[in-house]
Amino acid sequence: MILHPTALGVFILLFLLVTIAGFWAARWRRPAAGLHSLEEWGLAGRSFGTLITWFLVGGDLYTAYTVIAVPALMYGGGANAFFAVPYAVIAYPYMMVVLPRLWRVCHRHSYVTFADFVHGRYGNRWLAAAIAITGILALMPYIALQLVGMRVVFEAMGLGGNGWKGELPLIIAFIILATYTYSSGLRAPAVIAIVKDIMLYVMVIAAIIIVPLKLGGYAHIFASAQTALAAHKASTLLRPPQYLGYSTLAIGSAIALMLYPHTATAVLSAKDENVVRRNAALLPAYSFMLGLIALLGYMALAAGIVTKDPNTVVPLLFLKLFPEWFAGFCLAAIAIGALVPAAIMSIAAANLFTRNLLGSFRRSELTDREESSLAKIVSLLAKVGALWFVLKMPTTYAIQLQLLGGIWMVQLLPSVVVGAFTRCFHPWALFVGWMAAMVSGTAMVASLGFKASVYPLHLFGHTYAMYAAVPALLLNLALSMLLTPLFRAANLDNGSDETVAEDYA
C-alpha cells in the first residue's frame, strides 16, 4: 500500500473538526434537565426544524457505504445497479403520505419508535417485539457496513495492513464515534450531518465537472464503460430479463427505506408534521446527487481503474485524478458520511431494545433516567458488535446479511403502514404473517447462497425473477387477510387500541 501523506493530513484535520462538533453537540439546544430521557437523548426533544431534519434524514439515508457501494455496483454490474435512483424517487411520495400521519400519532402518544406505535395501535407486545427484533436485526449489518466504508477509505490512504496495527485507525474512529454518541445522543449526528452533506455536495459537483474533463467527456465515459462491462456480460442498458427484478427491487427498497428504524428516529425528531412534509418535497435533491454518485462507477471504468475489490473504486479514482489535498477532502467526506448513519442507527437500535424489548416485558416501568442510561449502554454495545463483525468476519458476510435487511424491513408494512390508516387486521394474524414472510424471505436469499436478493420465482410454468421481499410481502398480506376473520371468529385476543381517530386527523 502507498501512503498518501497530504491526503491523510487533510483527512485528519477535517476528522478532528467533526469530532469537536460531535462533543459540542451535547450543549446544543440542551434542556435544563439535561439529556436524561429517551425523548431528549434519542430524539433530541423532537425539536428539529426543516433544515436540520433535511440534513439529518439525508445524511441518514445516504451513507458512506452508499457512496462506496452504488458506484461499485455500477463498476461491476452496469445499469442494474441504477435501481437506487428510481427507488428514492418512489420513496418520497410514499413519505409524504405515510410519515406525517405516523409522526402525528407518535407525537401525541410520546412514541419513540414505530414499534411503540404498533404496541399502542394493536395492544400486543409480542407483535411490537417482532417489529423491534426485525429492526435491530436489519440494523446490525448496516452499522457494520458503515465501518467497512471507513476501512476502505483508510486503506486507500495507505493505512491498511495485517494485524491489529492495520485496524488501529478504524478502532480509533469507532471509539470517537461511540464516545460522542454516548454523550450527545441524536444531537451529535444532526450537527455532523450538516458538515458531511456540504462536503459531499462539493465532492460530487467537483467530480461530475473535473473527472469528465480529464477523461474526454461523458460520451467517452459511457462508451468506455460499455466496452469494459461487455467483458463481464454486463451493460450500461437494462436487458428485458432484468426488467422485473429491477422494478421490484426499486419498489421493495422504497418501502423498506421509510421503515428502517434510523429513518423513523430521524423523522420523529422533527418538531411538527409539516417539517416531515417539507422534507418529502426537498429530499429528491439527494436522489439527484445519488444518480451522480452512481456515475462514478462508470468514470472509474473509463479511467482504467483495475481492482479486485470494487468497493475501492471511488477512493482510487479520486486519488488518481484529483490533487492529493482534494482527494483527502473527498475521502474525509466519505468517512464522515459513515459517522452520521452509524450514530443514528445505534441510537435507533438502543431505542428499540430499551422501549420495546426490555421495557415491554419488565414488571415495573423504567424511569426516564433509567431508560436513557440503558439506551446509551445499548448504543455502545451495538457499535461494539458491529466493530467485532468487521474485524473478525469476512466483509462479504456483512454485505450478505444487509441484503436480507431490506427484505425483512418490507415485512413491517402491514403492521406499520397499513396500521397507520386502518386497524382491519387482527394482531395475531399480523404476527403469523410476519413470521411466515421472515422465514420465506430468508429462505429465498439462502437458496441463492446469500449472494443476491433477486429470486427466480417459478409459477404456473413460468419463471419470474423478482426481489425476494415482494413475494414474501404478498405471503405476509395474504396470511394476515385470511387469518384475521378466523382469529376473530375464534375470539382470540384482539388487543386494544389506545389511539383514537382524532390522533390521525
What's the pLDDT tens digit per position in 288-336?
777 888 889 999 999 998 888 888 889 999 999 999 999 999 998 888 8
Q: What pLDDT does 166 receive?
A: 63
Identify whether 454 is part of a domain.
no
Compute the distance between CA of residue 370 and CA of residue 380 in angstroms, rounded to an integer.
16
Name, in order, each residue with C-beta under 8 angstroms of 288's C-beta and a sequence gap of 6 or more.
none
> What string of H, E and C letters represents the secondary structure of 46-66?
HCECHHHHHHHHHHHHCCHHH
> By percentage, how much of the chain surpasses pLDDT 70?
96
Compute the distance between CA of residue 375 and CA of residue 379 in angstroms, rounded to an integer.
6
Classify residue 367 by burial, with Cβ atoms within 10 Å: 0-12, 13-18, 19+. Answer: exposed
Question: At 409, is the pLDDT very low, low, confident or very high (cuts 50, 70, 90)?
Answer: very high
Compute the distance between CA of residue 276 and CA of residue 89 in angstroms, rounded to an integer.
16
Q: Quick check: 238 pLDDT over 70?
A: yes
Identify whether 37 is part of a domain.
yes
Q: What pLDDT does 398 receive?
A: 61
Name, in order, each residue with C-beta under 8 angstroms of 187's C-beta and a sequence gap of 6 or more.
25, 26, 28, 29, 30, 35, 44
Identify whether 243 is part of a domain.
yes
Identify whether 493 is part of a domain.
no
Instruction: State the residue for C-alpha cell 426499486.
Output: 250
What's the pLDDT tens digit per position in 339-393?
888 888 999 999 999 988 887 777 677 787 888 888 889 898 888 888 887 777 7
Check if the beta carbon of residue 69 is closer than 8 Å to that of residue 311.
Answer: yes
Compute the distance between CA of residue 400 and CA of residue 73 in angstroms, rounded to an integer.
14
- Which comes out higher in pLDDT, residue 28 or 263? 263
Q: Quick check: 276 pLDDT over 70?
A: yes
What's the pLDDT tens digit per position in 161-189?
666 666 787 888 888 888 888 888 888 88
Please name which of 150, 83, 151, 140 lies closest in space to residue 401, comparing C-alpha atoms. 140
Please name which of 89, 22, 483, 100 lies closest in space to residue 270, comparing C-alpha atoms. 100
- CATH code, 232: 1.20.1730.10
Compute the distance between CA of residue 214 and CA of residue 94 in angstroms, rounded to an integer.
40
Q: What pLDDT does 439 receive?
A: 96
Task: Provide the number of structural domains found in the chain.
Answer: 1
Question: At 201, is the pLDDT very low, low, confident or very high (cuts 50, 70, 90)?
Answer: confident
Identify whether 248 is part of a domain.
yes
Q: Quick check: 481 pLDDT over 90?
A: yes
- Which comes out higher in pLDDT, residue 62 or 42? 42
Give Cα separations from 206 to 336, 481, 494 (angstroms): 18, 52, 57
Name, in order, each residue with C-beta under 8 angstroms of 276's C-beta and a sequence gap of 6 or more.
53, 95, 99, 100, 103, 267, 270
Domain extent at residue 90: 5-392
DSSP state of 367: P
- Which comes out higher in pLDDT, residue 444 or 26? 444
SS3 363: coil
Rounded to the nearest angstrom, the gap between the alpha carbon of residue 19 and the centroid of all alpha carbons in its chain is 22
Check if the beta carbon of residue 390 is closer than 8 Å to that of residue 140.
Answer: no
What's the pLDDT tens digit per position in 110-166?
999 999 999 999 999 999 999 999 999 999 888 888 888 888 888 888 876 666 666
Q: Quick check: 33 pLDDT over 70?
A: no
Identify whether 437 is part of a domain.
no
Compute the distance between CA of residue 200 and CA of residue 242 in angstroms, rounded to an integer.
31
Q: Which amino acid is at 317?
A: L
What's the pLDDT tens digit per position in 423-463?
999 999 999 999 999 999 999 999 988 888 889 988 888 88
Compute the distance between CA of residue 373 and CA of residue 469 in angstroms, rounded to an integer.
36
Give Cα separations from 78 to 67, 73, 445, 502 (angstroms): 16, 7, 22, 49
Compute the distance between CA of residue 306 and CA of residue 301 in angstroms, rounded to an integer.
8
Question: At 478, is the pLDDT very low, low, confident or very high (cuts 50, 70, 90)?
Answer: very high
Check if the beta carbon of residue 57 is closer than 8 Å to that of residue 267.
Answer: yes
Q: What pLDDT does 131 receive?
A: 96
Residue 78 region, left (φ>0) first, then alpha (ψ -120 to 50), else beta?
A: left
DSSP state of 455: E
Please name which of 181, 202, 199 lies closest in space to residue 59, comparing C-alpha atoms. 199
What is the DSSP pairing of strand 454-459 with strand 462-467?
antiparallel
DSSP state of 217: -
Summary mean pLDDT of the chain? 87
Angle at 99 between CA 93 and CA 102, to 5 degrees: 150
Compute the distance between CA of residue 152 and CA of residue 310 in angstroms, rounded to an integer.
10
Identify whether 429 is part of a domain.
no
Q: Which amino acid is at 401?
A: L
Name, in order, each residue with C-beta under 8 angstroms of 414's C-beta and a sequence gap of 6 or more.
425, 430, 433, 434, 476, 477, 480
Q: What pLDDT does 383 receive?
A: 85
Identify whether 479 is part of a domain.
no
